[in-house]
Structures are given as structure tokens and as C-alpha cells.
Amino acid sequence: MKLNKITCLAAAAIMSVSAVSASAATLPYTANNNEAFTLCESLYYDGLYYEAREALGKVDPNGAYYDANKVAAWRGKINYAIARWEIKSLLKNVQKLHDAGLYYEAQAVINTLNARGDLTQDDFYSILWWEDVVADKIAALENKKKIVVCTEASAINRVKASGYALASNYEWFSPVKVANGYHVYVKTQLPGGGSKDVAAFRVYTDGTVERVF
């Protein structure tokens, strides 16, 4: 039964991707950049974000009426809309798997969510909540200690959810696995080369976050 449910979910995902590809392949012909922009806008406001992205790809940088700023603006709007749709869908999948008793599969989807680089603060709270709920179920099944944080991405997102944000594009998170959790260092690039630690956090497997410096 478990295998059947997983197979159905996988098949649904494949069908969804196929449907997107098919619709993108049959977009109306556009004679010029104005028509491509109009089609992109129409598809976007119809909620057809993948198709809108495909339409935007029809804009010819060497053609008349090309506007690089307009392309960049639409690309940003479309990518954001797609990200929000994907994240919402993945969270729904977590709930469905949880409700079906497929806790390890739910945890795998949570790990996929944690690995994304386009999460908002609200996303962190939703993911962390489900992470905790699913960890409870798995601990009960295995009769073992509850492990909430089990990946580097999860540890980093716990730090982000605590309110810490990188100061610039020259900073990055560097997690290190340690006993009972992770050390998450914040490193910054030095002008002469190399890097230094500007902050450090201890993230425990139960989800607790402590700032070291």
C-alpha cells in the first residue's frame, strides 16, 4: 500500500511536468516582440507562470521593440511566482504524506524544501513546524531520540529563522557537523583573499539555536 501511494505521487509529478512542457510547446505564434510581451503578460495574469516564462523566451534581443529592463522585470516576477507556487505545492505534499502516515517520505520533501535558496521568513516557519511534527512521528516509530535537524540546509535555515541575515553577497554560511547538531559559521571574504568568521551558531538536533559569537 505504501509503495502504491508513493508511485501515485511520483506519477502525478511526472504528469504535471509533462503537462507544463506540452502547453509550453503549443504557445501561439508571436510575430514580434510586442506580441511576445503581450502573450507573456496575459499568461502570467492567467496564472500560467511556466508558459509565461516560455513566452518571455520568445522575445528577440535583436528584434524591434526589445526592452532589456522589461525582460528583467518580467523574468523576476515570473520566477518569483513560480517559486511561490512550487513551495506551496511542496508544503501541501508534506501534509498529504504526513496524513497518509508516510513520515520518511514527508521528511524527504522537507529536506527538498530546506535546500531551496528562495525561501521567505514565513516559509521557514512553515517548514520548521512540519519538520518538528514529522520528527515526532519518526521518533515514535523508531522508539529513538527525536532528531529535528538532520541536514546542513536545515541547520542554516534554523539560523535564518532566528532572524540572522547575511550582510552582503561576500558572506556565506558554512555548516559543520558536530556531536548533537551542527556548528554554522558565517564567513566573509577578505579583500586580500581568504576569509574569516564573523559569526557562529550552534544548532542542536532538537532545533535549538544558540549564537556563539
Tell me, letter by letter, the H, E, C secondary structure of 13-65: HHHHHHHHHHHHHCCCCCCCHHHHHHHHHHHHHCCCHHHHHHHHCCCCCCCCC
> For residues 83 and 91, what is the distance between their CA atoms, to the nearest angstrom?
12
Tens digit of each residue's pLDDT (9 = 90 or more) over 22-45:
344 467 778 899 999 999 999 999
Tens digit of each residue's pLDDT (9 = 90 or more) over 145-181:
999 999 999 999 999 999 999 999 999 999 999 999 9
> For residues 105 and 97, what is the distance between their CA atoms, to the nearest angstrom?
7
pLDDT of residue 12: 47
> For residues 213 and 201, what is the distance between their CA atoms, to the nearest angstrom?
7
What pTM value is reported for the model? 0.81
pLDDT, averaged across the chain:
89
> For residues 64 and 85, what is the distance between their CA atoms, to the nearest angstrom?
33
Residues 97-101, mean pLDDT to the nearest whole number:
98
pLDDT of residue 16: 43
Beta strand ranges found along the chain (DSSP E): 171-178, 181-189, 195-204, 209-211
If we measure between CA atoms, which residue out of 122, 60, 63 comes closest to residue 91? 122
pLDDT for residue 14 is more than 50: no
If we measure between CA atoms, which residue out of 210, 152, 212, 148 comes closest to residue 176? 152
pLDDT of residue 51: 96
Angle at 79 between CA 29 and CA 49, to 5 degrees: 45
Question: What cell numbers appear for 181 in the block?
Answer: 547538531
pLDDT for residue 125 is more than 90: yes
